Chains A and B, each alone.
Chain A
Amino acid sequence: MAELKKDDGNDATPNVSDVEVVDAATEDEAVAAVEAPVAQGEPILQVRNLVKHFPLTQGILFKKQIGAVKAVDGISFDLHQGETLGIVGESGCGKSTVAKLLMNLERATAGEIFYKGQDITKLSGRALKAVRRNIQMVFQDPYTSLNPRMTVGDIIGEPFDIHPEVAPKGDRRRKVQDLLDVVGLNPEYINRYPHQFSGGQRQRIGIARGLALNPEIIICDEPVSALDVSVQAQVINLMERLQDEFNLSYIFIAHDLSIVRHISDRVGVMYLGKMAEIGTDEQIYEHPTHPYTQALLSAVPVPDPEARERRERLILTGDVPSPANPPSGCRFRTRCWKAEDKCAKEVPLLAIPERFKGSDSPAAHESACHFAEEKDVVGAA
């Protein structure tokens, strides 16, 4: 870590040209590191102070930067093998940008993403390709994320074109059929087209494609929100079964807090590009200390009419401020009922709140609030 920190000064905003200067020796090392199994007890993915700013420009010929949309503004978390990390937050809070950064589909403005100790924001060439094989994605909308002109076999088999070492040419058809079987589809459907499948089946195809290269991490961006209620449960169960079977790590991005709780081991709550609170599912759902988490949880409809009398509702007023011009200090202060002068001046750090330090209570988890206190809003039975 110390060694990598040293580079930070000149590499704070990596661009493609300085990243490509990786000599062969280090590239080989990087590939070897990425292909090795993760060390016992080490997190498989470590994200440190990740930042992504999208520039806002003015002018046609002479483009001038007039500001930036701070989509992701310094977030850090760890992901362990076999674990599911849920990320929740309102639209525009940057959770999908985080997914793209982890996939290296967007270049980070600053910060590091360590996959097995290698900073993937600085990798390129063969090393990056090796990383990408191990981090796959399942998309939100199964209707638009599958090419309508390709058969299911071609869609699921396409990753093998890019990584032929996983499946030799003659072996591909059988591999694809195995994958169809794993996700609970009839292997004989290999020559069908996406329109011949229902939403739930299409999402299974998307999952099969994600599994094709035997990845270690799957990033799921709202994988069930486009599906019918009775089908959602089937897909969630499938994902849990696959996780056990292949020891996968999931980053599960969703807006449905109930589903996130069901599937996640740990949950991070994002607000305007920052992590507001992160902890185990029990810590977040039963002992939330950040006012934003408390408000989110209290607004979730519970399918139990008796619970509606028992629950207290904290209703947030107003809308999310623009990420191009976030409020000073704590970003949530404009909508917070606890906000005081301090909140406008000091940015609260994501840390275990002072008052809970050293205590065994589940409230002792990282929360970015000056006035963190526990409040049971779910009314857990």
Chain B
Amino acid sequence: MTSLEMAPANTGPDGTAPLLEVRDLHVEFKVRDAVTKAVNGVNYSVNAGETLAVLGESGSGKSVTAQAIMGILDSPPGRISKGQIFFQGQDILALAESERRKLRGAKMAMIFQDALSSLNPVLSVGYQLGEMFRAHQGMSKKDAKVKAIELMDRVRIPAAKQRVGDYPHQFSGGMRQRIMIAMALALEPDLIIADEPTTALDVTVQAQVVQAQVMDLLSELQREYNMGLILITHDLGVVADVADKIAVMYAGRIVETAPVHELYKRPAHPYTRGLLDSIPRLDQKGHELYAIKGLPPNLLQIPTGCAFNPRCNKAQDICRTDVPALVPVTEEDGTELVGRASACHFWKETIRG
């Protein structure tokens, strides 16, 4: 809550609302005669200066939620069938498209996964960075270029002045990702959504080396501008390094939320526990890895009851019939654990054992 007091400008009209609040969001895709339910009732919130990590496997709906927030969902076939998204106290789903467009880039920005395909290969990076200023602020080409150089310096691209006219292919993967970050930061937005900002960098250790640089840069800039940051990832290692709180998604729902330290110490959902146990650790060498059995569900036919039940080792009859609600997690004596919730019928057993 301290982050809220520090940033009154970023809070809603009543002074307590979070920067962004997603309430009961449902997104579906109509493909031929079938309906794929990608997001099925997601709730989360981000305060100014806070980092929320949304963790999930492919197909868990983490990126679709982000696209719905940004208003860049492919529709058709995508459709928000239910729910609200409050940004600075305002329901942005009720806004006209022209209003949404003013928000994008200026108030909320997104960093995409694959920097090479997100940048236009036939325009110089300086031109693409300057476009933000020209389009939103009506700046002249010359001023926009000066601004672009400033931004490149900001994200520590060496020799920014000489490289402003270079094209995306002339930069390495890490540098390109910095340009994407610079572009998102250009108008100093209040919210940044980073969709797997480090995964596409390289399929090798470079990713990990550059990753450390990029993640450090991102969190440093976030502190400076007091932005809210939503980090979408599947990498539990990256999350542990930068996030304040975590929301774990599975089959389009949030199955657990917790502050970062708590989640790693005492997961309250069998899926989170399974994920944590299934990653090999650099500083520990075990014999056999724990593996979650089975496969992520097909979104055309999500299992009844708890979507995780076919893969869960704690599943009982109730799990196959009743969808578990996301309920607050408490200590054994009933004291509330701030920010913790779990969508499991047996969270009590899970957190304690």
Contact = CB atoms under 8 A, between A and B. Distances in A.
Interface of A: 88-93, 140, 198, 200-201, 222, 225, 228-234, 236-237, 240, 255-259, 261-263, 281, 285, 295-308, 313, 315-316, 319-320, 378-381
B237 A300 contact: yes
Contact of B261 (A222, A231, A306): A306
7 contacts: A90-B205, A93-B204, A198-B295, A233-B279, A296-B205, A299-B209, A302-B240
A303 B281 contact: yes
B206 A320 contact: yes
A255 B281 contact: no
A255 B204 contact: yes
- Interface range for B: 35 or more
A297 B204 CA distance: 13
Given A229-B234, A257-B208, A319-B174, A308 B285 contact: no
B264 A261 contact: no
Contacts of A302: 237, 240-241, 281-283
B274 A297 contact: no
Interface string B209-229: 101110010000000000000
Contact of B205 (A255, A303, A378): A255
Which of A91, A201, A257, A306 has the most C-beta atoms of chain B within 10 angstroms of its own C-beta? A91
Interface in B181-216: 202-209, 211-213, 216
Nearest to B58: A228
B305 interface: no
A286 to B, nearest CB: 9
Contacts of A229: 57, 234-236, 275, 278-279
B280 interface: yes
A262 B283 contact: no
Given A228-B234, A228-B296, A308-B240, A316 B209 contact: yes
Contacts of B57: 228-230
A299 B208 contact: yes
Interface of B: 57-58, 172, 174, 202-209, 211-213, 216, 234-241, 260-261, 264, 274-276, 278-286, 288-293, 295-296
Given A230-B274, A231-B295, A304-B264, A381 B283 contact: yes
Contact of B264 (A140, A232, A258, A303): A303
Contacts of A88: 205
B283 A379 contact: yes
Which of A262, A263, A285, A305 has the most C-beta atoms of chain B within 10 angstroms of its own C-beta? A305
A307 B282 CA distance: 12
A298 B208 CA distance: 10
Contacts of B239: 303
Nearest to B289: A233
Given A261-B280, A303-B237, 16 more contacts: A88-B205, A89-B204, A91-B202, A91-B205, A233-B292, A255-B205, A255-B206, A258-B281, A296-B208, A299-B209, A301-B237, A302-B240, A302-B282, A303-B264, A305-B240, A305-B264
Contacts of B237: 258, 300-303
Contact of B206 (A91, A256, A304, A306): A91
Contacts of A225: 203
Contacts of B212: 298-299, 301, 313, 315
A301 B288 contact: no
Closest A-B pairs by Cβ, 5 of them: A301-B237, A262-B280, A233-B278, A91-B204, A233-B291
Given A237-B289, A255-B204, A230 B296 contact: yes
A228 B271 CA distance: 14
A229 B274 CA distance: 10
A262 B285 CA distance: 6
